[in-house]
């Protein structure tokens, strides 16, 4: 509650400041009234959802998510504007000090706000404002198929050209457009991959979130099957349950749903995919994450039925597991597939030029292909979204990886 009060005060104070900017650039009072009305409406909706509406065991509902997002978007708009206006006010104040002591009239007189500065401030603030709104309207379903070829000396001959589709972080509880999800499912099937691998976070909190989408995800196809692991959100750790038994039943239901959709859930376990006399090992661990995230993953148990010289593909939801455990393990894991970061759903990516997101300050490996100690990892940017119901610059991803036998030179 204290945080809500502080955010509200900040929102109101910054809002009053921004009003001065609008008054500087226009004499039309209706533009000012429109801004004030919008700000008040967004604030009241935010307070209503987070103060008056009854909670749902800690669940961040879709309505609350949008209320919070609109509040934050306007808050960002205000902050960016005020940075410029406040900087100008410091300059105006210094001019007034100078006039008081060194001016001819010896009067403390602040010059008027400059229209150019207010216009610049509001114009620049409109960029993230518009981008975040676009991210909510279209960006969250702007699915991209990203393709990679990975070469290995020791890839079994029969698997040369073997194609993998990876998806991750579905977060079905956030979906609000069935047509867009149908499009994405069709896009996955169009890849006609040999195997489909899902790397965790099927839901936000509850298994029931998957019920409206179960029929669609059941239509996913791959020649050699569909395999999955659990992500941190799948365990239901982030909401209040009426009992421990209810929480356990939720996880049991989610496992059942995955089975009914045709996914083989690897819980610290492994499976071989064979072609003739050749084989590759799929290894799946439960969630293991650094910091406060669940550490249920047991790599040694998961690999107990395979051999060190097998070609190995590891499914592990959190890329920090690869960084802290996998690449140092005595077993050589040729390819690890992860997700979890979502690329923070916000950033800038221009292939070959720049790849940046604030999430890089938290995760060393946060999006795309990385290689360390002769081992690869792909960190999928996520299929769905969580928290902010949108994506800006970091689009929802369907990864297609083709394994290739390295040619002798």
Average pLDDT of the chain, as a whole number: 94
Boundary residue ending a domain (82, 107, 137): 137
Report the pLDDT averaged over residues 305-322: 97
pLDDT (tens digit per residue) in 360-388:
999 999 999 999 999 999 999 999 999 99
pLDDT at 110: 78
Mean pLDDT over residues 272-287, rounded? 97
Q: Which residues contact 376 (CB under 8 A, 6 or more apart)?
A: 150, 334, 335, 336, 369, 370
**386 and 366 belong to one structural domain:** yes
272 and 338 in a single domain? The answer is yes
Per-residue pLDDT at 57: 52
Q: What is the CATH number of the domain that holds 394?
A: 3.60.21.10
Verdict on whether the full-model pTM lies above 0.85: yes
Residues 163 and 277 in one domain: yes
> What average pLDDT does the segment 234-257 reach?
96
Please count the other Cβ atoms lying within 10 Å of the Cβ belonging to residue 255. Answer: 17
Same domain, 343 and 375: yes
CA 209: distance to chain centroid? Answer: 18
Give strand pairing partners of 355.
Answer: 349
My answer on whether 258 and 384 are in the same domain is yes
Q: Is the pLDDT of residue 54 over 70?
A: no
Answer whether residue 291 shows pLDDT above 90: no
Residue in 280, 284, 329, 282 with CA at minimum distance from that of residue 309: 280
- Same domain flag for 90 and 164: no
Domain boundary residue, one of 137, 159, 174: 137
**Domain of 31?**
2-137
Q: What is the mean pLDDT of residues 11-39?
A: 93
Count of domains observed in the chain: 2
Q: What is the pLDDT of residue 257?
A: 98
Tell me the per-residue pLDDT of 191-232, one tens digit each, with 9 for 90 and over: 999 999 999 999 999 999 999 999 999 999 999 999 999 999
d(CA 336, CA 70): 37
Percent of the chain exceeding pLDDT 70 equals 98
Residue 12 scores a pLDDT above 70 = yes
For the stretch 62-91, pLDDT in tens is 889 999 999 999 999 999 999 999 999 898
199 shares its domain with 226: yes
Chosen domain end from 137, 162, 188:
137
Q: Does residue 293 have a pLDDT over 80?
A: yes
Indicate whether 111 and 165 sit together in one domain: no
Query: Is the pLDDT assigned to residue 330 strictly greater than 70?
Result: yes
Least confident of 87-101, 180-194, 276-290: 87-101
Helix axes of 115-137 and 62-102: crossing angle, nearest 10 degrees? 170
pLDDT confidence of residue 107: 81
**CA–CA dist 272, 128 (Å, integer):** 48
Q: What are phi and psi of 168, to 5 degrees?
A: -155, 160
Cα separation, 79 vs 72, whole angstroms: 10
Is residue 267 located within the same domain as residue 158?
A: yes
């Amino acid at each position: 509650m204290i945080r809500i009060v502080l955010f509200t005060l900040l929102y109101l104070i910054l809002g009053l400041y921004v009003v001065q900017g609008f008054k500087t650039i226009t004499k039309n009072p209706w533009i000012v009234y429109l801004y004030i009305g919008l700000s008040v409406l967004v604030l009241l909706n935010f307070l209503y959802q987070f103060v008056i509406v009854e909670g749902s065991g800690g669940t961040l509902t879709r309505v609350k998510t949008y209320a919070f997002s609109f509040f934050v978007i306007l808050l960002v708009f205000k902050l960016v504007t005020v940075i410029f206006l406040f900087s100008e006010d410091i300059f105006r104040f210094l001019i007034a000090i100078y006039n008081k002591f060194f001016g001819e009239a010896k009067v403390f007189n602040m010059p008027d706000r400059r229209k150019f500065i207010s216009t610049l401030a509001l114009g620049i603030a409109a960029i993230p404002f518009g981008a975040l709104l676009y991210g909510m309207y279209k960006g969250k379903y702007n699915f991209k198929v990203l393709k990679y070829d990975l070469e290995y000396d020791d890839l079994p001959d029969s698997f040369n050209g073997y194609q993998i589709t990876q998806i991750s972080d579905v977060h079905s509880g956030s979906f609000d457009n069935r047509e867009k999800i149908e499009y994405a499912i069709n896009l996955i099937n169009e890849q006609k991959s040999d195997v489909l691998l899902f790397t965790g976070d099927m839901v936000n909190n509850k298994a029931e979130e998957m019920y409206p989408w179960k029929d669609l995800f059941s239509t996913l196809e791959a020649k050699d099957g569909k395999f999955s692991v659990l992500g941190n959100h799948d365990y239901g750790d982030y909401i209040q349950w009426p009992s421990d038994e209810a929480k356990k039943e939720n996880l049991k239901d989610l496992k059942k749903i995955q089975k009914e959709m045709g996914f083989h859930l690897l819980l610290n376990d492994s499976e071989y995919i064979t072609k003739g006399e050749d084989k590759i090992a799929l290894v799946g661990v439960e969630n293991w994450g650094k910091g406060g995230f669940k550490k249920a993953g047991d790599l040694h148990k998961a690999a107990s039925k395979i051999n060190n010289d097998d070609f190995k593909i590891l499914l592990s939801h959190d890329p920090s597991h690869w960084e802290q455990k996998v690449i140092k393990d005595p077993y050589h894991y040729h390819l690890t597939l992860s997700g979890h970061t979502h690329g923070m759903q916000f950033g800038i990516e221009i292939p070959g030029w720049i790849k940046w997101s604030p999430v890089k300050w938290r995760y060393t490996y946060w999006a795309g292909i990385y290689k360390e100690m002769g081992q690869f990892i792909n960190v999928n940017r996520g299929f769905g979204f969580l928290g902010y119901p949108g994506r800006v610059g970091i689009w929802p991803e369907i990864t297609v990886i083709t394994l290739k036998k390295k040619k002798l030179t």
